[in-house]
Structure formats: C-alpha cells, structure tokens
Structure 1
Amino acid sequence: MNLITTIIAITLILSTLLAIVSFWLPQMNPDHEKLSPYECGFDPLGSARLPFSLRFFLVAILFLLFDLEIALLLPLPWGDQLDTPLVTFIWASAVLALLTLGLVYEWMQGGLEWAE
C-alpha cells in the first residue's frame, strides 16, 4: 500500500509541477507571424477561418454512422452467444432497418441535396 501511495504522490507532484511550468513558459506577447496559419512554407492565400458547409458536415456525419454500422455488423457471424441464428438475423435486420429509416428521413428532409 505504501508503494501505491508513493507512486500516486509522485505522479500528482510531477503533473502539478509540469502544469505550473507550462503556464510560465509560453510567450505572453505573440506576434502576427505566430498567429498566422502555416501552409508548408508558402504564404497563406486566404483566411484559414472560412465558413464550413453544413451540407458537407451532414454527409460526413452520415458516412460516420454507416461506417459504424459496418463495424457493428461485421462481427455478427462470429457472435454465436445468441441461441439461434434467427435471433442474430433479427438483430442485424433491426439495425439495418433503423439506419435505413434514418437515411430515408434525412433524404426526405433534403439533407442530401447539394443544389438548392
């Protein structure tokens, strides 16, 4: 128990010390060059703070959802913890149906149309 207490104390002291030092080390007056975006040595052509397309964001979120769906459905053939293959098929079909309904809803709301 004494070893665990010593390790925790050393960890807390070291992390506190590093946090305090990190507040003192940075320069308090950054200049314009340090605040500008770095683009592989080239001068930046425009502002790096451009507005982000909401439609692209929605498509990216849908891609992530369907990518997660594939990650969840791929191990199903090895998931033999369930009693019968019919139960596995029902669960996989339920996941696919739910995501398909979500995709149809997003399509009907106009979230997948690029042109206005």
Structure 2
Amino acid sequence: MKKALFLTGLVLALGATAYATGDKDATIKTRALALTRVQVEKARLDEGQYVKVKDLNIRMLTEMEDLKTRFAAEPAILDERLAVAQARYELELTAMMRPSQLVMFNQARNSMTALSAPR
C-alpha cells in the first residue's frame, strides 16, 4: 500500500513539474511573440526577419530565465551574465536589420527610454 501511495505521489509530482515547465515555455513564447510584434511594427521587418527575430527573442528570454534560476543566489554574477546576454542579443538583433530598419528601430527605442534626449 505504501508503495502504491509513493508511486502515485511521484507520478503527480512529475506531472506537476512537467506542467510547470510547459507553462513557463508557453509564457516565454507569448512574451517573445508580443516583443516580436512590437519590433516588427517599429522597424518594419519583413516575414523572413519576423521568423528570425521571433526565434532570437525566444532564445533570449529562455536564456534570461535560465540565468536568473542558476545565479539567483549570486546577484553580481547574475548581473554580469545578464549584461553579456543582452549585449549578444542586441548584436544579433541589429545584424538582422537593414540600415533603414535599424534607424527606425533605434529612434523608436530611444523615444521609449527615460534617458532619451529631450526634443
């Protein structure tokens, strides 16, 4: 009887873990899709770029979540790794854009930050 209860508890625990992981993946994909839509609008990306940027956003958000989990107890290392990941992401993102798209994207990004120059 104890073995059956233990096995049932183990199956439920594994199921909950799988569900939570699936939920996290769905959340990341939803966030990546929303971010990609904004980027497409701001930089007027074409369909091929849309797919590449969406994949890049999913990878970036997944990496950020992984870093937050792995280095939660070490804030200094976490900040450093997040900064490196962000820089790599920005480099890859801007490499996908044509010069005119990059100008539009940077203008939109600068207008949304608190540190943008007054106009």
TM bracket, shorter-chain basis: 0.3 to 0.5
- Bigger Rg over Cα: 1
Q: Counting helix residues as a fraction of each chain, which structure ranks higher?
A: 2
What TM-score comes out, normalization by structure 1 length?
Answer: 0.39
